[in-house]
């Protein structure tokens, strides 16, 4: 199953691959070179398919749990000042996605979407300390009675040149449901209440829509 954001890219890539195969077969006479080029093109196409995959996730909905919005590795767990929406201290948990991770973004909690905004910006590497405030990004806040308010921020990286955000203010978010997509490697920051109990550790690998990031007692 492939994400809808990749349908056009997969189709055009397939056309290019098929056309390249015909050209190589027609004009390259050296058998080793012809085979090598075809294998390289096929590997490239497989990588495109892998990047846009959208595997089914088994989300166990719980109002007191905040789930990871993406697949990747936890690279930040710290108390910070959140200056865009809350303007107070929160616990930031950041998940870094490599190009081989699933890049679907999912709602960390169910509830009402109270804020959704896109910010143009730079393309610093995703792990840069200022990436959260200076890179191209989207900020979304979801609120429910069990957990409170959770802010998550999709952040473009040096490779990611397009962020897709489906969250619409005043609409309803469903925990684990598709909320967007980031193309070609980046990170997502979660900003959680200070009294949330963090359930992950640095460098831990997490799965979007399944791994519990934090629990509200």
pLDDT band of residue 98 (cuts 50, 70, 90) is confident
Q: Tell me whether residue 98 is one of the annotated catalytic residues.
A: no
CATH 2.70.70 fits 65-215, yes or no: yes
Is a pLDDT exceeding 60 seen at residue 62? yes
Q: Average pLDDT, stretch 180-197? A: 89
Q: Residue 59 and residue 42: Cα distance in Å, rounded?
A: 34
Residues contacting 44, CB < 8 A, separation 6+: 13, 17
Is a pLDDT exceeding 70 seen at residue 130? no
- Identified catalytic residue from 94, 116, 186, 211: 186
* Phi, psi torsion values for 98, nearest 5 degrees: -85, 165
Which pLDDT belongs to residue 122?
Answer: 67
pLDDT tens digit sequence for 135-178: 788 999 999 999 999 999 998 865 555 788 999 999 999 999 99
The 3-state DSSP class for residue 33 equals helix
- The secondary structure element, H or E, covering residue 144 is strand 137-144
Q: Residue 5 and residue 8: Cα distance in Å, rounded?
A: 7
Which pLDDT belongs to residue 200?
Answer: 98
Which pLDDT belongs to residue 59?
Answer: 93
Query: Tokens 């905004």 map to which residue?
Result: 117
Q: Packing angle between helix 31-51 and helix 7-27, nearest 10 degrees?
A: 180
| Domain parsing of the chain, residue ranges | 4-51, 65-215
């Amino acid at each position: 199953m492939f994400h809808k954001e990749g349908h056009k890219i997969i189709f055009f890539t397939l056309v290019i691959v098929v056309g390249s195969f015909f050209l190589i077969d027609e004009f390259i006479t050296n058998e080793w070179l012809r085979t090598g080029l075809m294998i390289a093109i096929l590997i490239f196409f497989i990588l495109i398919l892998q990047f846009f995959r959208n595997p089914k996730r088994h989300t166990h909905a719980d109002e007191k749990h905040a789930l990871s919005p993406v697949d990747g590795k936890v690279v930040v767990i710290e108390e910070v000042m959140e200056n865009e929406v809350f303007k107070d201290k929160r616990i930031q948990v950041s998940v870094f996605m490599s190009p081989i991770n699933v890049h679907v973004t999912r709602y960390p909690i169910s509830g009402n979407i109270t804020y959704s905004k896109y910010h143009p910006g730079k393309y610093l590497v995703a792990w840069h300390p200022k990436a959260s405030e200076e890179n191209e990004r989207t900020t979304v806040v979801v609120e429910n009675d069990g957990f409170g308010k959770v802010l998550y921020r999709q952040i473009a990286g040096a490779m990611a040149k397009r962020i897709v955000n489906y969250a619409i203010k005043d609409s309803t978010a469903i925990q684990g449901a598709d909320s967007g997509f980031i193309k070609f490697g980046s990170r997502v920051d979660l900003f959680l209440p200070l009294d949330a109990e963090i359930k992950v550790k640095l460098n831990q690998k997490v799965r979007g829509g399944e791994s519990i990031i934090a629990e509200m007692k």
